[in-house]
Structure 1
Amino acid sequence: MEQPRQPAGRPDGGQYGALPPRPEADLDFRAAAPAAWPALTFEDVDWRLSPELEGVVPAYQVARLEARPYQSAVPARIADLDPLVALPATSIEAVSAAAVEISAFDREASALPVPMPTVLLRTESASSSQIEHLTANSRNLAVAALGETAGQNAELVADNASAMTRALDSDGPVTRDQILEIHRVLMERSDPDIAGQFRREPVWIGSPNLSPHGADFIAPRWERIDVCVDDLAAFAARTDVNGLVQAAIVHAQFETIHPFADGNGRTGRAIVHTLLRDAGYTQHATVPISSGLLGDVDGYFRALSAYRDGDPAPIVDTFAASTLRAVANGRTLAAQTSSIHEQWKARIKARSDSGAWRLADHLFAQPVVNSTHVARFLGSSPQGAFNAINTLVEAGVLTQSSRDRRNQLWQAKDVLDVMDEFAARAQRRVR
């Protein structure tokens, strides 16, 4: 769960070699027993009112709060822990089944006649954003992706898609610099002052607005972030951990560290896809795991809490179950988009190598277009763009959705409908 700004192995499970030495941390972590996963410990931190609130909050209230320290989380060092020791056999079995489905779905998506990887990435970014109550329908998201005005939520979701793209473009395991870059892309438009920078202020999850006292979870003090992120990256670089287990634990540890003032949830779920790609589970497409999490958001948050209490099994189980739900939903979407493609074949009266057909295939990735976008995509003149658009309008593939002469928009309603249906299926609660 993201915290709004506050005022103050591999698939075969093989062993690939020893970890490189890691420098000692500047700050202490709790030592863990070899066969256990460590719970958080806590430290007292003095509270000081944020300077911008001085003179706004009554002096008596300030004195009362500053007289009481709050308890901030201290994450354990995880780089050298053995996660499999702390997992029951049922979790390992669930992960194995999910891993098979991820790899199979990745192959299936790459073989489709439509740009399914882009479709899936957009659905994943929308689902991840929706976990944070940022909702946008498929049309508004497509309009925002054009750079047109479509509402703040749609712009935030479009930025999340860009951040996920950056995460998938990263080579190798997750690093500190990659995390900062993903966050920069995510937040640069909405909050440039914090984009790509670790926080230097306390953050917490829960209802208090003025101070962290009484919050549900208070993230580590900002002075610990560098050490915690370095430890996280060391765990992410291991090659002797099952890839899905590794992704679930890295995600839970990242959300526990909460290194940013805002955007932690969306950044943390983007990192999952970097890990799955690096582990070899996905090579072509994005498995929309966030759409699986949407079916039981409360369970997802409970699993994160259990992880902080020293039990990693619930978050691993949650990722395995969410993967299966996401793959099932993704296969339905793939079948629907393939069916649309087949229907268009009978309706589009143009050569298969024409600009009209190139545009038709592109509509699955960008289902709302304007003439400028089409001309740029086709590498054609403005007239060539209008010719391709008119061919698809005559075929009933495109309909004009904006009659503003200065910025006419056309949409592929068939594609938008199935993407909205995907989102509706993802929201159905798990029974």
Structure 2
Amino acid sequence: MIEPYIPDTLPLKIIDWERHVTLIGKANAALARYDGILLGMVNPQVLLSPLTTREAVLSSRIEGTQASLEEVLQYEADVGEPRPDQEIPDTPQIRDIHEIINYRRAMGAAVEELAARPFSINTIRNLHRILLTGVRGGHKDPGEIRHIQNYIAPPGTPIERATFIPPAPSILMDALSNWEEYLYSNERDPLVQLSILKAQFELIHPFLDGNGRIGRMIVPIILYHKKILSRPTFYISAYLERNRETYYERLLAISRDGDWNGWISFFLQAIVLQSEENSVKARSILNLFNDMKTQVPEITRSQYSVQAIDVLFSSPVISSRDFAIKSGIPNRTAQRIVERLEQKGILRLLREGKGSRSPVYLFSGLLDITEREGK
């Protein structure tokens, strides 16, 4: 049986800086271009909200959920934003959707918390508590650093045949303290530092469940904390989900072979390609928004065009009832706006109304950009 992993003390002394210099330059330049687009957006929180939900979908999919972005948005259009204490119907799809909603909710809480206090292990514990509330893993001490040994292996596999055994509980707090000290230290390059912080967190594996999702969640948070990005809005999971086997192999190679430089190269490449993909999507969404600012007033001839556009970008799958509620537009006027937008192909009817259920519409232009695959 392999022994529990003993984390390397940070900072590392084995970084091959010469090997990484080209990727460091590309990654920093790509992130700067992406942040320039963010800075040019009037309301990036609204415009990029579908990308935020897609990040939650893809990060959760790495851990085994099956729900799609459209299924999550349609569920919310049907039932509204679920409360954290709401009882969840016991079906696999609905459970998956609530895991994704919790992920997005945790990221929202992170943004609020970072505005009030510095990022820390306590922040991570709060995010973990939100992530696991009421869903799979909810019985595994949400928000609490583990007190028992865990291990990584296929379901039903005994610890003797584990792929990886994280550190023993007795050394967790020292490892996390060292992680936090390194977070606040000055490394030669902050993106190399980020790559090390992300991998070290997943190798420490401080929780009984949800470590991978938290490990991906902290990427945009640290980019914001280190002032590399102007807001914690970055989507790394698409690349990691497409390269899942390499992602896990690079992490395993750290614990098995001490190959930190292989991981750093992989992560910097992920930053380069994902920054480029994020930039293309953010620019496309901004262009679509500008197009809608021209088209929607012409189509609707309504004083409520601005409210209508904001709702469509924040809720690209929406019922006619919720469209009126979220926009504050009077019901009859809201219905007329929706009908005209459907006639002109801006909205597509996803589900017809029946009885007390309102029809549900899809803002396909925005969803097409959001779901477009990158490299």
Would you call these one fold, judging by a TM-score over 0.5?
A: yes
Change (3 A) 1:117 1:337: closer
Q: Decide which of 406, 409, 422 is 2:356's aligned counterpart.
A: 406
Please, what TM-score do these two structures have when normalized by structure 2? 0.83
Corresponding residue SS for 2:350: strand
**Letter paired with 2:363:** A
For 2:314 and 2:239, how far apart are their aligned partners in 1?
21
Q: Which moved more, 1:143-152 or 1:366-375?
A: 143-152
Corresponding residue SS for 1:183: helix
The within-5 A match list for 1:148-167 is 151-167=94-110
> For the Cα contact (< 8 Å) 1:174–1:271, is it kept in 2?
no
For 2:111 and 2:254, how far apart are their aligned partners in 1?
26
Asked if 1:94 is matched to 2:23, the reply is yes
> For the Cα contact (< 8 Å) 1:168–1:273, is it kept in 2?
no
Q: 2:131 is matched with which residue?
A: 186
> For the Cα contact (< 8 Å) 2:221–2:232, is it kept in 1?
no
Corresponding residue SS for 2:298: coil
Quote how far apart the aligned CAs of 1:253 are.
0.8
For 1:249 and 1:406, how far apart are their aligned partners in 2?
53
Q: 1:73 is matched with which residue?
A: 5
Please, what TM-score do these two structures have when normalized by structure 1? 0.73
Ranges in structure 2 where 5+ consecutive residues have no aligned partner: 83-88
Q: Which moved more, 1:287-296 or 1:377-386?
A: 377-386
For 2:263 and 2:20, how far apart are their aligned partners in 1?
10
**Letter paired with 2:179:** L
- What is the count of residue pairs matched by the alignment? 353
For 1:353 and 1:285, how far apart are their aligned partners in 2?
35
For 1:385 and 1:227, how far apart are their aligned partners in 2?
57
Asked if 1:333 is matched to 2:281, the reply is yes
Please provide the CA RMSD for this pair. 2.9
Q: 2:218 is matched with which residue?
A: 271
The within-5 A match list for 1:149-228 is 151-171=94-114, 174-190=119-135, 191-193=137-139, 194-207=141-154, 209=156, 211-228=158-175
Corresponding residue SS for 1:291: helix
**Letter paired with 1:192:** G
Q: 2:201 is matched with which residue?
A: 254
Change (3 A) 1:351 1:91: same
**Letter paired with 2:268:** A
For 1:313 and 1:210, how far apart are their aligned partners in 2?
30
Q: Decide which of 252, 266, 272 is 1:318's aligned counterpart.
A: 266
More helix by share: 2
Quote how far apart the aligned CAs of 1:312 are.
1.8
> For the Cα contact (< 8 Å) 2:34–2:275, is it kept in 1?
yes
Quote how far apart the aligned CAs of 1:182 are.
1.0
Q: 1:147 is matched with which residue?
A: 81
Quote how far apart the aligned CAs of 1:281 are.
1.1
Q: Which moved more, 1:182-191 or 1:112-121?
A: 112-121
Listed one character per residue, the Cα deviations across residues 362-403 of structure 1 (whole Å, up to 9, x for unaligned) are 323321123454344324554454354344334332233232
Q: 1:52 is matched with which residue?
A: none
Q: Decide which of 227, 231, 251 is 1:280's aligned counterpart.
A: 227
Change (3 A) 1:341 1:295: same
Q: Which protein shows a greater Rg?
A: 1
Change (3 A) 1:401 1:260: same
Q: 1:66 is matched with which residue?
A: none
For 2:186 and 2:175, how far apart are their aligned partners in 1?
20
Quote how far apart the aligned CAs of 1:95 are.
1.8
Q: 1:306 is matched with which residue?
A: 253
Asked if 1:124 is matched to 2:55, the reply is yes
Listed one character per residue, the Cα deviations across residues 133-154 of structure 1 (whole Å, up to 9, x for unaligned) are 3243221122345437863323
Corresponding residue SS for 2:4: strand
Change (3 A) 1:329 1:241: same
For 2:301 and 2:152, how far apart are their aligned partners in 1?
54
